[in-house]
Amino acid sequence: MERKIRILIAKPGLDGHDRGAKVIARALRDAGMEVIYTGLRQTPEQIVAAAVQEDVDCIGLSILSGAHMTLFPRVLELMREQGLDDVMLFGGGIIPDEDIPKLKELGVAEVFTPGASTQDVLAYIRSNVRAGA
């Protein structure tokens, strides 16, 4: 049987707004993916360690606090250090348009902003992520 896509949904930083993260986690789970939700206030180190341990295919970060330009690069850096080259990183939250190209240049695959539907996220993951062996 084909392995299910495994996703880590993470809330880095101090921000406690977890409505979006939880709605996405539930929608992906309902769509048959295996979703691990980290809970609030995870450091980039904890997130990447969880990604390694859980052997995930992609990581989704939810950030609404404005700290995205600090937190995304740090997670990417740690992912590289841990050799997670085939793990996709995407994100969502309150992220101004002009920061999105910068994040993509750094290696963030996609950024979903307010109003994105869970179906958009689902479709993106289905066409861009393959479940690992």
List contacts with other proteins (CB under 8 A): 13-19, 22-23, 26-27, 37, 39-40, 43, 65-67, 69-71, 94, 96-97, 113-115, 117-119
| Rounded-to-10 torsion of CA 94, 14, 43, 17 | -50
With respect to other proteins, which residue has the nearer C-beta, 54 or 130?
54
**Residue 14: CB minimum distance to other proteins, A:** 4
Our CB check for other proteins shows the closer of 31 and 130 to be 31
Of 53, 70, 57, the closest CA to residue 15 belongs to 70
Residue 40, both tokens: 């609030």
Provide the minimum distance between the beta carbon of 72 and other proteins in the complex, in angstroms, as a whole number. Answer: 10
Q: C-beta of 13: minimal distance to other proteins in Å? A: 6
Question: From the CB of 27, what's the least distance to other proteins, in Å?
Answer: 7
Q: Could you tell me where the beta strands, DSSP code E, fall in the chain? A: 6-10, 34-37, 58-63, 88-93, 110-112
- The Cβ of residue 110 has, within 10 Å, a number of other Cβ atoms equal to 19
Residue 40 or 130 having the CB closest to other proteins: 40
Q: Which of 53, 58, 43 is nearest to 9 (CA)?
A: 58
Residue 18 or 34: the one with the smaller Cβ distance to other proteins is: 18
Query: Is 27 or 109 the residue whose CB approaches other proteins more closely?
Result: 27
Residue 47 has φ and ψ, to the nearest 5°, of: -65, -45
Q: Residue 76 Cβ, how far from other proteins at the closest point, in Å? A: 14
